Amino acid sequence: MSTDLPSGEQSLESRTPEQAAPTPLATRAGMWSDGSGDTSGYGRIVRPVLFPAGSEPPYGSWYDGAIARLSTLLDDPLVRVVLDRGELTFHVRRDKLTDVMVNLRDDAALRFELLASVSGVNYPQDAGAELHVVYHLQSMTHNRRLRVETTCSDDDPHVPSVVRTYPAADWHERETWDMLGIVFDGHPHLTRILMPDDWVGHPQRKDYPLGGIPVEYKGAEVPPPDQRRDYR
């Protein structure tokens, strides 16, 4: 799995803390994203898409102890740490994801036994890391919550499966592959779970056509969303 980036490009995950200021990846106009029909009436809204900045220690609460413990168990396990709105996120490289997750589950000082969800996000402007995978963990022992995030590129959409560590990830990884095309290497049965087996493409990718299939309802035809009225 190659992690090389195009010449001159640098993904968010590879930036130093000094470079990790909130980074605008895109600007959206209206209630929805650019390119779709805005039927909300909020066409004058302009919003940047920002990534939170990397945080610096001390973090407070139990966060510092958990980071220190993980760092003693693994060599350089974290790309960066984000503490935003009281929520802690560990950004890790995909080649270290499996080891990080095993230690987060098994170490007595960490003990994140529950994987609540696995989801994918597509950021086309994040060159070299267009696809993000987000894991929500909970420690039932210590009553703590943690988010883990890793990335891969459009050209190499592979991330290690965590099903062997967290069996509950099975259907979540299948849905993420189905919707976004992220391949979870080592998954026992990576097949579609929402779309038909012969469906072409992955509907939650930002480059996937919006609508495109007219819907018939009791004799009336509803056009695809991108062909409806625009109130801007």
Residue 227, in any domain of the structure: no
The model's pTM is: 0.78
Question: Same domain for 63 and 131?
Answer: yes
Whole-number pLDDT of residue 165: 98
Residue 231, in any domain of the structure: no
Paired residues of 195 in beta bridges: none
* Distance separating alpha carbons of residues 40 and 230, to the nearest angstrom: 8
DSSP-derived letter for residue 126 is S
Question: Same domain for 152 and 165?
Answer: yes
Question: Same domain for 120 and 191?
Answer: yes
CA distances from 131 to 30, 63, 79 (A): 24, 27, 16
Question: Same domain for 47 and 113?
Answer: no
pLDDT in tens, 45-56: 777 878 888 999
Paired residues of 81 in beta bridges: 90
Reading the block at residue 141, the tokens are 């022992």
Residue 8, in any domain of the structure: no
Question: Same domain for 143 and 166?
Answer: yes
Q: Report the domain count for the chain.
A: 2
pLDDT in tens, 104-127: 999 999 999 999 999 999 999 889
Residue 62 falls in which region: left (phi positive, over 0), alpha (psi -120 to 50) or beta: alpha
> What is the span of the domain harbouring residue 36?
25-54
pLDDT in tens, 139-180: 999 999 999 999 999 999 999 999 999 999 999 999 999 999
Question: Same domain for 34 and 113?
Answer: no
Reading the block at residue 21, the tokens are 């200021």
CATH (domain of 193): 3.30.460.80
Residue 19, in any domain of the structure: no
Residue 186, in any domain of the structure: yes
Residue 12, in any domain of the structure: no
Residue 13, in any domain of the structure: no
Question: Same domain for 75 and 37?
Answer: no
Question: Same domain for 120 and 98?
Answer: yes
Question: Same domain for 87 and 196?
Answer: yes
Question: Same domain for 35 and 80?
Answer: no
Residue 199 falls in which region: left (phi positive, over 0), alpha (psi -120 to 50) or beta: beta
Secondary structure element (H or E) that encloses residue 65, with its range = helix 63-73
Residue 221, in any domain of the structure: no
Question: Same domain for 63 and 115?
Answer: yes
Question: Same domain for 42 and 149?
Answer: no
Percentage of residues in the chain having pLDDT higher than 90: 60
